[in-house]
Chain A
Amino acid sequence: MNNYFDMKMLSNGKNEAFARSAVAAFSLPCSPTVEEINDLKTAVSEAVTNAVVHAYKEDGGIIELYCEVDEAARWVSVSVTDFGCGIPNVEEAKEPFYTTRPDDERSGMGFTIIETFTDEMTVRSKVGEGTTVTMRKVFKGC
């Protein structure tokens, strides 16, 4: 059975650093390179930021962080789930530079970075119920 952790945290920007560091530390038995770990941390940060900034806006809520690693096959899978507003059009949201909050200096690059920096990304969302972003990173370096 693969090792995993499953936790809940408040949708506070303060917890982004914790979330990406926790995933990075948990992935270390897979012997990732520094670049691979940085890619993973960046991708996790994007998903958690989406939950904090877009899903819950100012209201706050709970973010679930699930992380599973396969040490032998050297991959990690991370799911970030919120129970916020949901995304009406996921395909549109995935477009580079697409943002609903341009005035807030949002770059609109979150999903593009997750897609570029990991091997697989899936986004499941339902308006009014929430969003789950799942990413998988395979460690190929030695």
Chain B
Amino acid sequence: MNLDFKINGNDICVRLYGEIDEYTARTLRADIDKLIEAQGFRTMTFDMQNVTFIDSTGLGFVLGRYKKLRGKRAELLLKNVPSQVDKVFRTSGIYSFVPIVE
């Protein structure tokens, strides 16, 4: 699992790559939390276009980042959600907390 990001003022867009499961979520969690701690962003957007697989551990990872950001009065957003990821997200109702943006 890999990521890259682009910062635009108080907003950051993080592009995630590959599979998010029990094995990959740990590193990803640590990397994203470093970004969250580094700067007080207003919004963080996960671009999911290159995520090839996610399961409920990945879902827990996204919800965890949502909570962490909310604690800092920041918002988590999602974009380009592929169909496999979308199905897992829809099953959990995560979109009522973490909306999709264009």
Give A residues with C-beta under 8 Å from B: 12-14, 16-17, 20, 35, 38-39, 41-42, 45-46, 49, 52-53, 104-110, 112-113, 116-117
Chain B interface bracket (under 10, 10 to 19, 20 to 34, 35 or more): 20 to 34
- A41 to B84 alpha-carbon distance, docked (Å): 10
- Apart from the given pairs A13-B21, A17-B23, 9 other A-B contacts in the complex at a CB distance below 8 Å: A16-B21, A17-B21, A38-B84, A41-B53, A42-B87, A45-B21, A46-B55, A106-B60, A107-B92
Chain A residue at smallest Cβ distance from B62: A107
- A93 to B61 alpha-carbon distance, docked (Å): 20
Give B residues with C-beta under 8 Å from A: 19, 21-23, 29, 53-57, 59-61, 63-64, 83-84, 87-88, 91-92
Q: Are A107 and B56 in contact (CB under 8 A)?
A: yes
Q: Are A113 and B56 in contact (CB under 8 A)?
A: yes
Q: Are A109 and B92 in contact (CB under 8 A)?
A: yes
- A29 to B56 alpha-carbon distance, docked (Å): 28
Q: Are B60 and A113 in contact (CB under 8 A)?
A: no
Q: Are B91 and A16 in contact (CB under 8 A)?
A: no
Q: Are A105 and B23 in contact (CB under 8 A)?
A: no
Q: Are A49 and B56 in contact (CB under 8 A)?
A: yes
Q: In the assembled complex, which residues on chain B have CB atoms less than 8 Å from the CB atom of A107?
A: 56-57, 59-60, 63, 92
Consensus secondary structure, chain A interface: helix
Q: Are B91 and A105 in contact (CB under 8 A)?
A: no
Q: Which of A17, A42, A104 is close to B88, meaning CB atoms less than 8 Å apart?
A: A42
Q: Are A109 and B59 in contact (CB under 8 A)?
A: yes
Chain B residue at smallest Cβ distance from A105: B64
Given the known inter-chain contacts A49-B21, A52-B22, A113-B55, please indicate yes or no for A39 contacting B87, CB distance below 8 A: yes
Q: Are B91 and A45 in contact (CB under 8 A)?
A: no
